[in-house]
Structure 1
Amino acid sequence: MKYFAVFLPMKDEEKSRENRPAHLEFLARKREEKKAVMFGRFVDGTGGLVIYQGESLEQVESWVKEDPYVITGARHYEIHEWEIAAMDIHK
């Protein structure tokens, strides 16, 4: 499995507010399916980030296109394959 960082930059704040519950339900389902590893918003209000686990960029993009934020035009998206580099932060 590969990891993919999906940036969801703000496109329309009102649509984002309206579709937040549906977006969070979507992410909860993806997490239950072991497809979304982690997610969260940027505290400066510019959007959010989702880390997906999948076989290919095309597969992950198909999931992202099902996100209510993307469907309704509330957010743009940008996908990058992400290589995790573990480090010990306690050193």
Structure 2
Amino acid sequence: MKYFAVLLPMKDSGKSTEFRPQHLAFLEEMRGAGHVRVNGKFLDGSGGLVIYQAPSYADCEELVKLDPYIQQGARDYEIKEWEAVWAD
């Protein structure tokens, strides 16, 4: 499995507020399925970051496109393959 850092820059703050519950439920579902390792918002309000685990970029992008934030136009996304180094 590969790791991907997915930046979710703010596109529409009103939609972000409206669809936050669905977005958080989606992330919880993705965590339960083993696709999301960690997620969080940027405290400056500019968006957030999600670390996905997937076999390929294309597989990761398929998952990202299921996020209500993306589907509803609340956020843009940028995917970067990430070489994770974990603490012991």
Q: TM-score range with shorter-chain normalisation?
A: over 0.9
Identity of aligned residues (%): 56
- Displacement after TM superposition at 1:87 (Å): 5.6
Per the alignment, residue 80 of structure 1 pairs with 80
Please list every run of at least 4 consecutive aligned residues from structure 1 whose deviation after the TM superposition is greater than 2 angstroms.
Answer: 85-88
| Alignment gaps of 5+ in structure 2 | none
Q: Is 1:31 equivalent to 2:35 in the alignment?
A: no
Return the alpha-carbon distance in structure 2 between the equivalents of residues 39 and 27 of structure 1: 8
Describe the SS at the equivalent of 1:75: coil
- Displacement after TM superposition at 1:85 (Å): 2.7
The size of the alignment, in residue pairs, is 88
Per the alignment, residue 47 of structure 1 pairs with 47
Return the alpha-carbon distance in structure 2 between the equivalents of residues 31 and 83 of structure 1: 19
Structure 2 length as normaliser, TM-score?
0.96
User: Which is greater in Rg?
Assistant: 1
- Displacement after TM superposition at 1:76 (Å): 0.1
| Alignment gaps of 5+ in structure 1 | none
Structure 1 length as normaliser, TM-score?
0.93
Q: Is 1:17 equivalent to 2:10 in the alignment?
A: no
Return the alpha-carbon distance in structure 1 between the equivalents of residues 87 and 64 of structure 2: 29
